[in-house]
Amino acid sequence: MLTLAIKNLKRNKLRTTITVLGIAIGSLLISIIIFTMISLRDLIAYHFAQVFEPENIFLVSFNPNTNFKTSDIEKIKDVKEVAAIYPAIELSFSIPQKQIGGKIVAYGNNYNANRQNIQKAIKEGKLVSGAIPIKKGHTILSKLLYDKLSRPAINQKLSVEINTPFQYLQPKHAPKEHTTEQTTQPVTPMLTPPPTMQYEFIVDGYVNALNTGEGPTMLISLDTAKEIVRQLIDQTISPDRFDQELGYNLLVVKATSTETVKEVTDTLEKKIFKDKDVIIGTAAEVIDSINKVLYILGGALLFVAFFSAVVASLGIINTMIMAVYEQKKEIGILKALGATNKQVFGLYALMSAFIGFLGGISGILLAIILFKAGDPLIVRFLNNKGLDIQHFFVYKLWVLVVISAASALVGLVAGVLPALKAARMDPIKAIRG
């Protein structure tokens, strides 16, 4: 029956080709949408795995009163399933003459030395020998910043302007409300600009995936960051009193395993920092949030692609109705020779399904050709943005099978009406034409 179905479709090759092309376009759109969404999801998961360990929980302070001090760290140590605690400091910098701005992150060297992306950069020669632990006054750049600076030579000095972190700002720098004799409306007075300072770093190299992709980033030692904060805020605070008096605006808490991350996070949120202005998050939460956005976007795009499938099905209906009309005599002869209504229905339903399947396969092949051609361009673009990847598009066999089967199903459903028309045809009238 399949041979007969193919033979019938060949009678009008142009019409069949145009109909297949309509299905192929719908299949192409759906393939591009699905594989792009899958590739983006995998890229995000890969990037976060390169930058952050899945066991890590990140705590961010939002004002001087919630900076993480010695007492907070001691409380976290007592939490069950906490494997390690890494205090950190985040600053912001600018290079006005180059119109570049970004952030400075300082972790403890014991944390930096174990990061996969840094170990990889050392092996690839992107960091000078001995760059880890990071020396005082030295820095490792994100590749994005490294490129923006026109690839400065390793061991070159880099001068930046560092701003006071808002988590350390004194009350005189914060907005206040006051009243006058004329009005009782809240008024924001002129603010004293937060202090800034120039600091010169020695560049030890760069790392492709240094942060979460938020922009140009510098990685410095924790001791350097403490010194900078003390100079910006209060130089009278001795270095050994930093943890008790100023504290850290960023904290990384490592759970014993990925399974205990939620347990530790719940304890931190509901007990230790319940009433404090602290943001607590994990890499898994960020990935889940981004995935939800991708699913919503993908769903909306697939809804649009659905209409292309509807239009393509109308093309199949038209093709099959014309085929039935042109092949009335053949249908009559088949029925006269003993073919049942069920067999005739099956023949034309098979023709429709074959058109759908052929269009689906064609669309998938077109999508793969486009992916192969576009992948190097996308990889080059993402590498320039600091993402260390070898390929972007990911192919899933089960997705290819589903799209092919769905295309055949669309063809089958679209061919039901013409097939019924053929099956119900009176053989004598059909032969007479």
Whether residue 170 is contained in a domain is answered as yes
Whether residue 58 is contained in a domain is answered as no
* 34-53 pLDDT tens trace: 888 888 878 877 766 666 67
R_g (Cα) of the chain, nearest Å: 33
Give the separation between CA 382 and CA 27, rounded to whole angstroms.
Answer: 27
Whether residue 181 is contained in a domain is answered as yes
Is the model's pLDDT at 206 over the cut of 50?
A: yes
Residues 163 and 76 in one domain: yes
Whether residue 56 is contained in a domain is answered as no
Last residue of a domain, one of 276, 304, 334: 276
205-238: burial string, b at 16+ Cβ within 10 Å, e else = bbbbbbbebebbbbbbbbbbbbbbbbebbeeeee
Residues 250 and 299 in one domain: no
Query: What's the confidence (pLDDT) of residue 172?
Result: 43
Whether residue 240 is contained in a domain is answered as yes
Whether residue 214 is contained in a domain is answered as yes
SS3 378: helix
Does residue 395 or residue 84 have the better pLDDT? 84
Whether residue 57 is contained in a domain is answered as no
**Residue range(s) defining the domain that contains residue 329:** 2-48+289-432
Query: What's the confidence (pLDDT) of residue 388?
Result: 67
Residues 305 and 266 in one domain: no
List CB contacts of 13: < 8 A, sequence separation 6 or more: none
How many structural domains compose the chain?
2
Last residue of a domain, one of 214, 246, 276: 276
Residues 20 and 142 in one domain: no
Residues 390 and 365 in one domain: yes
Whether residue 217 is contained in a domain is answered as yes
Residues 296 and 265 in one domain: no
Residues 199 and 142 in one domain: yes
Last residue of a domain, one of 276, 300, 319: 276
Closest of 221, 226, 231 to residue 201, by C-alpha: 221
The answer to whether the beta carbons of residues 110 and 293 sit under 8 Å apart is: no
pLDDT band at 188 (very low <50, low <70, confident <90, very high): very low
Distance in angstroms between the alpha carbons of the first and the last residue of the chain: 24
Residues 73 and 108 in one domain: yes
- What percent of the chain lies above the pLDDT cut of 90? 24
Closest of 420, 422, 415, 401 to residue 312, by C-alpha: 415
Judge if pTM exceeds 0.75: no
Residues 225 and 351 in one domain: no
Residues 229 and 310 in one domain: no
